Copies of this chain bind each other. A is one copy, B any other.
């Protein structure tokens, strides 16, 4: 049976079962009458969206390499600026000067046992004319690794994540004075050379194993959509979990006259040389390794026995960069709010790619522009938002969220005062809605997802995404995370959202300034993985494997556009706080689980060390070492956090109830309410920041210092427990409790205003 038939039948059935629920539901922040008007506006907005325009725009913008500093990057900025203007927006260019290294010299050779020279190139592929375009393209590289010319023995360290170094130590090996080769995956790229450097390595090679995004996962491009044999993943290795943005202007906007620190003092630049390669370049290096056979989780899909080394492979690695400054072109478009112009709803997507960037970021960029086009048309027809809407096209995201961060740092005071919501997108595909965001946006997202139709099935995006989560949780290979999500999808009132980690431009907004933020994409059915950050991320690839017909591009515009329009038009900002309290409650329970697991593990390891169990259980034919003794886990009292959370729950319930009961409010009341509501996310930050990374100020969400992309919730406490810094854990329990109390007080103020 083929699914197309079934889907039509089922979609019809589903439509019969859930008639007009969406229209009957209340709309958060709107009175029933206003909600009807807003839905009428949204219908007009939808009518202004054209998949053909998306496609044409993508073809233009992805026609040439557009990394920072390239002619096409500037041309795209000017194109976007002109478009905004043509659509009636008050648009301008903001230019920053930032440190942006580009490759001057790269070499990678296997000196022996069998000499081999890596090609470091990505040849054209049949059927993809864009892949043959060379003009303006840089060779594959990673930005912000060190300069170096090093020779040494090679060691394979799997994904190069902390657990891999622990496993390597258990195998009796280390990387001191050696060159590591690691594969992409398992965590953020930049952590791989950072951890290699911290463990004493002198160089780092990162390759794309076909097990992770190549032929093992599906037919390789151009036959299918996965990474071709010679495809290389470029990227940044800036130490972004410590601080994002231009490394020379920490904390301030990189205007032409900003004060800059010397490159040597920049703490987010690595010291060792790093080079990314394809698996076809990597295979001879991996084949030349001896030593222990790699354990199960370390084996990729190349037809070899993976060994850890070290050696006998001897490697020569050279990386030298041009460390000059390059211009960044942010394009900012403003539509002034009719009633509360000093409250801003900001909507953005970055524009710079590594080469052509059809997927990343232009699929999201052209979609965002489609929203701006349609909103411009609404405005031309006479409509005005209540609050100010700002659309932005960021440059320099790939290198370290630079365009957004410099803009945020440049306008920090104004944004702190005025930014009500930040809505971000980046590359997008098709399938299901993946939404992450500040917990207070959960209901808003849920309501919007219920009002947008999934292009493939005709049911609401919300329903299809909930179904996908529930179905995934039942799969035989479902992870514990999958099962938790399925439970949340089956039992919760809303579409579950994820906490914000990092990996796109919301980071300076939410984590540095405490601005309520959302990040959206459609994904799950496309076949991107393989061309990510390569010469093959082309228009040709996207229209075959990304979003053929751009139907999900339109659905994303409908989703993000509704978020923007509702946030701009609602009488009170459409946030509520019961979900904030409930999600933090789940995060606190995870802290308990973490403490229990950490304690049980320390006890078990130490008992086994006492009786020499690791040594006795080891195979004497293989080098090995026992794990280090663990610091016993003391009592960490989480009650201050739980007590504060109890108060927050009560405050949130009172506000949400009062908001639901509220009738039309006087304009002054609305403004006072908005001010309070905007303050809640700020209350969750601490100006002293997180341990060792003061730029990150949010006490509820942060990218993990040792995961990079993935969010760590209540990070001050969680990472302190993970690393056994007990006093710091207690300190951040107190700080986070204070933040929750501050948020509760602000919410109480809002409730009082509502009831006044």
Contact = CB atoms under 8 A, between A and B. Distances in A.
Interface in A491-520: none
Given A172-B1, A172-B2, A474-B608, A215 B617 contact: no
Contacts of A464: 616-617
30 contacts: A1-B172, A1-B623, A2-B172, A3-B622, A3-B624, A6-B625, A6-B626, A7-B616, A10-B612, A14-B616, A211-B299, A215-B304, A216-B299, A217-B293, A217-B305, A297-B477, A301-B301, A301-B303, A431-B619, A432-B617, A457-B620, A464-B617, A467-B614, A467-B616, A467-B617, A470-B608, A470-B613, A471-B617, A472-B617, A474-B605
A623 to B, nearest CB: 5
Given A219-B305, A224-B293, A468-B616, 9 more contacts: A4-B620, A7-B618, A215-B304, A217-B293, A218-B293, A431-B619, A457-B616, A463-B616, A467-B611
A608 B297 contact: no
A215 B303 contact: yes
B456 A305 contact: no
Taken together, the copies of this chain in the complex come to 2
Contacts of A2: 172, 623
A454 to B, nearest CB: 8
Interface in A238-289: none
Interface residues of A, number: 71
Contacts of A621: 525
Contact of A296 (B13, B293, B303, B477): B477
A47 interface: no
A302 interface: yes
Nearest to A467: B613
A604 interface: yes
A193 interface: no
- The 5 nearest A-B residue pairs measured at CB: A467-B613, A10-B612, A468-B617, A303-B303, A218-B293
A246 B1 CA distance: 43
Contact of A305 (B14, B218, B459, B604): B218
A210 interface: yes
Nearest to A216: B299
Contact of A3 (B219, B296, B604, B615): B615
B457 A305 contact: no
A476 interface: yes
A471 B613 contact: yes
A688 to B, nearest CB: 34
A338 interface: no
Nearest to A474: B604
A17 B611 CA distance: 9
B608 A471 contact: yes
Contacts of A474: 601, 604-605, 608
Most buried by B among A296, A490, A614: A614
Most B C-beta atoms less than 10 A away, residue of A301, A601, A626: A301
A616 B293 CA distance: 43
A43 interface: no
Contacts of A25: none
A163 interface: yes
Contact of A303 (B302, B459, B615, B626): B302
Contacts of A614: 467, 471
A608 B486 CA distance: 11
A216 B302 CA distance: 9
Central interface residue in A2, A297, A302, A615, by most chain B CB within 10 Å: A615
Interface in A607-660: 608, 611-626
Contacts of A463: 616
Contacts of A167: 476
Contact of A615 (B6, B210, B470): B6
Interface string A223-235: 0101000000000
B620 A293 contact: no
A608 B467 contact: yes
A3 B172 contact: yes
Contacts of A179: none
B456 A216 contact: no
Contacts of A622: 3
A359 to B, nearest CB: 18
A210 to B, nearest CB: 7
A628 to B, nearest CB: 13
Contacts of A604: 470, 474, 490
Interface in A193-223: 210-211, 215-220
A457 B624 CA distance: 15
A531 B608 CA distance: 34
Contact of A620 (B7, B477, B608): B7
Contacts of A306: 216
A301 B306 CA distance: 11
A708 B79 CA distance: 67
B301 A299 contact: yes
Contacts of A525: 619, 621
Nearest to A302: B303
Nearest to A613: B467
A259 to B, nearest CB: 46
A4 B613 CA distance: 14
A457 B615 CA distance: 9
A477 to B, nearest CB: 6
Nearest to A615: B10
A492 to B, nearest CB: 15
Contacts of A619: 3, 431, 525
Given A601-B474, A624-B3, A305 B215 contact: yes
